[in-house]
């Protein structure tokens, strides 16, 4: 087994459309080694100066992936969105290579089922997930929002004016509002973990977690 096979800092991103290129850039910012692959020469040239390693190749062919050394990576993300056929055949080729973690972008529920049936370990819906998140932000007073499953969320909200100057011990957010305050950021200061003695300052931002409906209700207080 090669050294890279056990290197969790290395990721292959296949497909340099809007999602794939953004993902590759974010991984680099997180200090991960990225091998980016796309079948379009134009995209490869566009990203060659921004990404460390960019290759033009047909990723639907197992032998091509093997020649590129993809078999030595533990994690591969198939970010292809324009062609369902290319997406599925690429996942199938990666499965034949025995890649331990195959992440694949799906554009529909049917597409997702096919990807899972040919070997994808994780299927993601970036457009749907982004749409859900933005919808929550539009209709609520949350500053940021992340949903886990269908009934739990973590959100960033402003301190409600009615709670300013009070400690969490006094407020008892779990008992009164059904949410837990896990962090607080006073104006001009970094985020800190919250504890019962944390006093809610004016213009502060809180990180709260709990059932989605309770988090939304708490945000409305701001």
> For the chain, which residues make up each domain, given as ranges?
4-124, 129-220
* pLDDT at res. 138: 66
Centre a 10 Å sphere on the Cβ of residue 14 and count the other Cβ atoms it contains.
Answer: 31
**Mean pLDDT of the chain, nearest integer:** 89
**Those residues with Cβ within 8 angstroms of residue 72's Cβ, 6 or more apart along the chain or in another chain:** 2, 4, 5
Q: Which helix (H) or strand (E) holds 215?
A: helix 212-220
CA 152 – CA 214 distance, rounded (Å): 9
Asked whether residue 115 carries a pLDDT value surpassing 70, the answer given is yes
Question: Do the Cβ atoms of 104 and 123 come closer than 8 Å?
Answer: yes
Q: Which CATH number fits domain 129-220: 3.10.620.30, 3.30.70.1450, 3.30.460.80, 3.40.50.720?
A: 3.30.70.1450
* pLDDT at res. 77: 95
Using one digit for the tens of pLDDT, what is the confidence trace for 154-188?
Answer: 999 999 999 999 999 999 999 999 999 999 999 88
Please tell me the pTM assigned to this model. Answer: 0.68
Neighbour-count burial for 57-66, b at 16+ CB within 10 Å, e otherwise: bebbebeebe
Q: Which CATH number fits domain 4-124: 3.30.70.260, 3.40.50.720, 3.40.50.300, 3.30.565.10?
A: 3.40.50.720
Residue 45, Cβ density class (10 Å: 0-12 exposed, 13-18 middle, ≥19 buried): exposed
More confident position, 217 or 136: 217
Q: Which of 62, 65, 69 is nearest to 10 (CA)?
A: 69
Would you give the distance in Å from CA 208 to the centre of its chain? Answer: 19
Task: Report the share of the chain in percent with pLDDT over 70.
Answer: 94
């Amino acid at each position: 087994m090669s050294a890279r096979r056990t290197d969790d800092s290395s990721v292959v991103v296949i497909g340099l459309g809007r999602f794939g290129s953004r993902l590759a850039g974010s991984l680099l910012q997180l200090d991960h080694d990225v091998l980016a692959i796309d079948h379009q020469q134009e995209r490869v040239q566009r990203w060659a100066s921004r990404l460390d390693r960019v290759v033009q190749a047909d990723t639907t062919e197992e032998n091509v992936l093997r020649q590129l050394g993809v078999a030595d990576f533990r994690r591969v993300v198939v970010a292809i969105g324009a062609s369902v056929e290319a997406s599925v055949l690429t996942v199938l080729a990666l499965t034949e290579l025995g890649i331990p973690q195959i992440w694949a972008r799906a554009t529909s529920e049917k597409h997702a089922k096919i990807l899972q049936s040919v070997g994808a370990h994780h299927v993601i819906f970036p457009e749907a997930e982004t749409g859900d998140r933005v919808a929550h932000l539009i209709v609520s007073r949350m500053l940021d929002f992340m949903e886990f499953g269908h009934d739990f969320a973590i959100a960033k909200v402003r301190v409600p004016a009615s709670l300013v100057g009070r400690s969490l011990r006094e407020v008892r957010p779990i008992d009164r509002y059904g949410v837990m305050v896990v962090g607080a950021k006073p104006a001009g200061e970094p985020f800190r973990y919250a504890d019962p003695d944390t006093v809610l300052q004016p213009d502060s931002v809180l990180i709260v977690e709990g059932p989605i409906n309770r988090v939304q209700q708490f945000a409305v207080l701001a």
